[in-house]
């Protein structure tokens, strides 16, 4: 038990999926996992543990933004000894080549959050994905025929920018393909604990083309993302 989580020691599997939305966490648990039990309900951020094709896996919602995610990730790694974290979130496209509903597998993530600076100090930090998870995700996405892009992303603490495209112009020049609010913190905290992390996000809007998905599509909009993440979990657990 922690100040933010009522789960007992050992309640989480070593691999945890991290949607931001609590409703998405519940949807994943109910529709994809076997033998599911709820292990946390505190602060309306539910956690579940079950299995997928015989592999133990948990789901824990993290809320919105870097500060909220950083708390849950820290406690999962420190108090519950989780070793592998896979974020399942949404992002905005910064490239006109990113189609709506396609997936972005984040290779590395820049961030503007003070959380990252407080964790690491005054230096810029190259927060990146675990390579083995990144490779598995890219391979499985190609094999499954899922529209996806592997590339560098950015995370921002501000959702409603008055001129977002102008704000991200420099990032686009340096090859950043998408922006969310959490991936940079996930990678930073995971690396602090020598844990493994990966972020897979669904493109729900594109700042360059002006296209956006409709909220009525959720949660089915995220099915390909969840299926890819679970394929990675199974492949990662396979012997050899």
Burial class (CB in 10 A: 0-12, 13-18, 19+), 215: exposed
Within 13 Å, how many C-alpha atoms sit on residue 86's CB side? 30
Q: How far is CA 28 from CA 16, 33, 40, 96, 216, in A?
A: 12, 7, 15, 30, 17
Closest CA to 202 of 56, 90, 70, 122: 90
DSSP 14: S
State the CB neighbour count (10 A cutoff) for residue 63. 17
Q: How far is CA 206 from CA 3, 93, 178, 189, in A?
A: 37, 4, 9, 28
The answer to whether 178 touches 92, Cβ cutoff 8 Å, is: yes
∠ CA 169-91-53 to the nearest 5 degrees?
A: 150
Burial class (CB in 10 A: 0-12, 13-18, 19+), 83: middle
Q: What are phi and psi of 94, to 5 degrees?
A: -115, 10
Catalytic residue IDs: 205
């Amino acid at each position: 038990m922690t100040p933010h989580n009522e789960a007992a020691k050992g309640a989480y599997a070593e691999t945890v999926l991290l949607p931001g939305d609590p409703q998405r966490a519940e949807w994943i648990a109910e529709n994809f996992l076997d033998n599911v039990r709820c292990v946390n309900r505190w602060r309306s951020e539910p956690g579940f543990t079950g299995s997928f094709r015989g592999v133990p896996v948990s789901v824990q919602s993290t809320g919105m933004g870097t500060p909220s995610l950083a708390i849950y990730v820290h406690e999962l790694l420190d108090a519950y000894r989780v070793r592998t974290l896979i974020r399942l979130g949404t992002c905005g496209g910064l490239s006109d080549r990113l189609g709506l509903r396609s997936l972005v597998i984040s290779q590395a993530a820049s961030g503007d959050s003070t959380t990252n600076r407080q964790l690491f100090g005054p230096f810029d930090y190259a927060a990146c994905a675990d390579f083995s998870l990144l490779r598995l995700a890219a391979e499985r996405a190609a094999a499954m025929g899922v529209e996806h892009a592997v590339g560098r992303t950015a995370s921002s603490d501000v959702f409603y920018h008055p001129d977002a495209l102008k704000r991200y112009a420099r990032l686009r020049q340096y090859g950043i393909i998408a922006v969310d609010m959490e991936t940079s913190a996930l990678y930073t905290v995971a690396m602090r604990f020598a844990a493994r992390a990966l972020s897979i996000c669904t493109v729900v809007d594109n700042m360059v083309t002006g296209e956006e998905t409709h909220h009525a599509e959720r949660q089915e909009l995220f099915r390909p993302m969840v299926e890819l993440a679970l394929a990675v979990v199974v492949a990662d657990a396979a012997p050899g």
